[in-house]
Amino acid sequence: MTGQYRLIVSDFDGTLRRTEGGISEGNVRAISEYVASGGVFALCTGRMASSIRPYAKELGLKGLLAAYQGAIIEDIESGKIVRDVRIPSGQAAEVCRRLESENYHIHVYDGDVFYSNMDDELLQGYVQTCGVRPEIAPHISETVESKGICPHKILVMASPEERERAYSAAQKEFGGDLYVTTSSAFLVEFVRKGSDKGGALEYLAEHYGIPLSQAVAVGDNINDLPMIQKAGLGVAVENGEKVLKEAADFVTRTCDEDGVAYVIRKFGLGEKL
């Protein structure tokens, strides 16, 4: 390795994944060269593990990946879960009841299983993008309560206008007890306090014995802010949210212009670009 950064952790949607889907050949090559040179490349996403696992394997990655903002961290090859942080069932049921009272589209995630209270156009788009299908549970708070589900994540899907209202209200009502964030114009996400991407980055760095000063984090949205702030070098893609770009140390190219590959080559491999 000729670059100073030994660990690069990337978000997936809006960052490594192209807008139309998939990972570009440019990003695949850069990741492969970085890993071959001795660097560690890891994925950290809000997606469920079963949704991101195939991409990690497609990239030939070994070691750990972080899902649900870091509520789950697992070994890619063995599937062994090394970090498993959940919302207590009673608290989750109460959150769902409150969201149901506002007639929101709600998802509840329990490992590789998830539940949705609505089967609508929003859900079909989500299923197509993420490649996972839910169990439909119209009275989702009752399902959480009766099954004793301690979810890794609760999610609200809404139009961009509704999302702003839901995000603001959720932060005020639940932000003291849960980590409430957003990862797109349509999503509001709830995980256990401390299960943010900053905590995930710390876990990965400690696991690999790499100081945070030698870690790069790359993202595009509000949920990436904690890891951008923790990393030795915090990077936002050009297509990212304004608040993230303002907090970043460096702004790379867009997700459709191999922004992650540019970061790898410039900071991980030390190429003169």
Q: What pLDDT is stored for residue 273 in this prediction?
A: 83
- For residues 30 and 36, give the distance between their C-alpha atoms in angstroms, rounded to a whole number: 10
For position 218, what pLDDT does the model report? 98
Per residue of the chain (273 residues), give pLDDT as tens: 567 899 999 999 999 999 999 999 999 999 999 999 999 999 999 999 999 999 999 999 999 999 999 999 999 999 999 999 999 999 999 999 999 999 999 999 999 999 999 999 999 999 999 999 999 999 999 999 999 999 999 999 999 989 999 999 999 999 999 999 999 999 999 999 999 999 999 999 999 999 999 999 999 999 999 999 999 999 999 999 999 999 999 999 999 999 999 999 999 999 998
Q: What does the pLDDT read at residue 8? A: 98
Domain 7-84+195-268: give its CATH code.
3.40.50.1000
Residue 183 is predicted with a pLDDT of 94
CA distance 181 to 157: 13
Burial bucket for residue 238 (CB in 10 Å: 0-12, 13-18, 19+) = middle
Q: What is the DSSP letter of 223?
A: G
Spell out the domain ranges in the chain.
Answer: 7-84+195-268, 89-192
Q: Give the per-residue pLDDT at 4.
A: 85
DSSP H/E element including 155: strand 153-157
Instruction: Kindly report whether the global pTM for this prediction surpasses the value 0.85.
Output: yes
Q: What top-level class would CATH report for the domain 89-192? A: alpha beta
d(CA 43, CA 47): 10
Q: In what order do the strands lie in the sheet with 153-157?
A: 135-136, 113-116, 105-110, 153-157, 187-192, 178-184
